[in-house]
Structure 1
Amino acid sequence: MDVKKGCRIISLSQGRQKIHENYGLWICRTLQKAVFGPREKIHPRSFEFFCLSHMIGGKGWYWSQKTGTVKILEEGQGIISSPGFVQFYSGNKENYIEDSICFTGVIAQNLFRSGIIRDGIINIGKGRRLLPIIDSAADPAMDSQIRANQSLLNLLTDLYFENRNKGKENIESAFETLLRSISEEPGKWWTVKEMAEWCNLSINHFRRLFLARTGLNPKGYVDNLKINKALEFLSDNDASISEIAGRLGYLDQYHFSRRFKEITGFSPLRYRLEFLQPPAKH
C-alpha cells in the first residue's frame, strides 16, 4: 500500500472535569458503532491520547510506522494506540465498524509504562465489551464518570491477561506451523523478516525465541534443513545432482555442492558413492 507523506495529529478535546484530574484518568471521547469506509492508501496519524478501538463488524486492516507492515483485522479484534504512536487503520474493501474509547491521564501513562497497555492489535472478542463504559462515560455525573473509569481499568487489565496467555499459545502455534512450512517447502529461501512476520514478532524477538527453541539461528536452521533434505534426495539414484540442487532452491549445482561440502565434509557425488551405493558383491 502507498503511504502518504506527513502525519496528521488528532488533538485532545476539551471538557476535562476536576474528578478526572483527581482520579488520574479521563475518557475524553467515545464512538459507538461508528462506520468508516474502506481506504486503499495509508494516511499516517497519531493521537494526543490513548485510543482503544474494537472492530465489531466489517473488515479492516492496520498499519504502524514502527513495523511498516499492513495486517488484516478480523471481527472481534481491537487496536490500542498510545499518544504519539504513528499508525492507521481502515476498512478493507468493506466498512470498518467500531466501538472506541479514547482516554488520557497519569493512570493510563502508568499502565503503558508497566506494559499493561501496548500499541498494536489485541483480541477483544465479538461481544461489545466497550459499550457499558461508553454509556457510563456519556453521563457527566460524578458517579457515572467514576464508574466509567473503573470499568475501563478493569477491561484493560482483563485484556492484558487474556492476550498475554493467548499470545503464548499463538506464538507456539505459529512456530509449529512455520517449522512445518519450512520443512514442506525446501526449495524456498526464507528471510528472517518473513519468518518473524509469520509469527507476528519483531525480528530481534524472533531471533531470540528461535535460537532458544531450535538451538540454531534462523539462517543456520534453513541451511541444515536443506542439507538434510539433500541427504534424502541423494538416496534416489535417478535424481541428478543438478536436479536436487534445483529442488532445494539453489541457483546451480556448483553453489549447492559447495554448501553441501562445507556442512558435511563431502561433495554430493562423493557422499552418494561412499554412503549410499550398495556394497560390491564378491
Structure 2
Amino acid sequence: MKTDLIQKMEGFASQKLIVIPPAFLEEHGEHPLIRPLYATDIGYFPKARYHNRTRPEGCGAYIVMLCEEGSGWYRIGSGKVQSVERGQLFILPPDTGHAYGASAENPWSIYWVHVMGSDTPAFFGAADSGGNPVPVGYEKAVKLAGLFNECTDILLKGITADHMVYVSQTLRHLLGVACFLHGGLQPGSERGQMIEESVQLMNDRVGSTLTLKELAEAARLSVPHYVQLFKTRTGYTPIDFYLKLKIQRACQYLDMTDLTLKQIAGQVGFTDPYYFSRMFRKIVGMAPSDYRKTKKG
C-alpha cells in the first residue's frame, strides 16, 4: 500500500481543495471528453507554512505544481533537492517516490493538480525524472494561475459530469501552455529557449533573408548542433521552417491586401516572383492566384 506522510496544520486560510470521489470517476471516467485527461485532486494552498509531504512510492498520477509566490523545495526519487521560487512550475512523475515542502522562512503559495488519463504521457513525454523547476515568467504564471482557478471554482460549485468535462478541457489548455513554454518540460530548456529566440528572429526578418550560418551564430551553436536541435524542437530544418513562415506571411497578404503577386513576393523576401510561386505551390498545394480566390472565414 502506498503511503503519504503529511506535515501541515489543519488548513491554510483561503485554501481550495477538491478531491474527485473514486465512485464519480468509476461512473463517468469513460466519458470521451474526460477519459483522455482528468484531475483526481486539485487545489491551492496560500502561504502554506508547514506544508510538507513525502510519498516514498509516489502516486499514480502526474502532479503539476505552480509556485505563485514564496518558495519551497522538492526531490524526486534519490535525486537532489530542487529549490522552487516564485513563478516556477515543476512536475512530479507518476509511481516515483518524491517529497516536497514549503520554505519555513518564506512559505510558498502553491497551485497543484493530480492529472491522469490516456493523453497525459503525450503531454509530458519522457519528462526528466530528476528535472529542474521550469521558470514560466510572470505573465504566463498569471495565465496558468487563472486556469487553475477556473478548474477549482467550477468544481466548488459541484462535481458533475458537465463540470468535469469543462475542467478536463481547461487542464488540456493549462498543460498545453506549460509544455509549449519549455518543450514539454524536457531537459535542456535553455536550448529550447534559444530555438524560440531563433524563431522570433525568423519572424522579424521574414521580409529579408537569413542564412543557416547566421541563424546558428545567433543561437550561439555550431551549424550541425543547431540544425539537429531545431529539427528536434520543431520537426523541420531551420531553412524549411523559415520558408514556411514566409509563405504563411504571404497567405496573410493574399487574404487581406490587394498587393500584386510580385509585390507580395518582395514583401516576404523573394526577389524572383516565379520562384516564389513555385515555393508557394509546393508548401500550400496550390498557386498563389488560386489561393487568393478561395473563400475563407
Q: TM-score of the superposition, structure 1-length normalised?
A: 0.49
Higher-Rg structure is 1
> Normalized against structure 2, the TM-score is what?
0.46
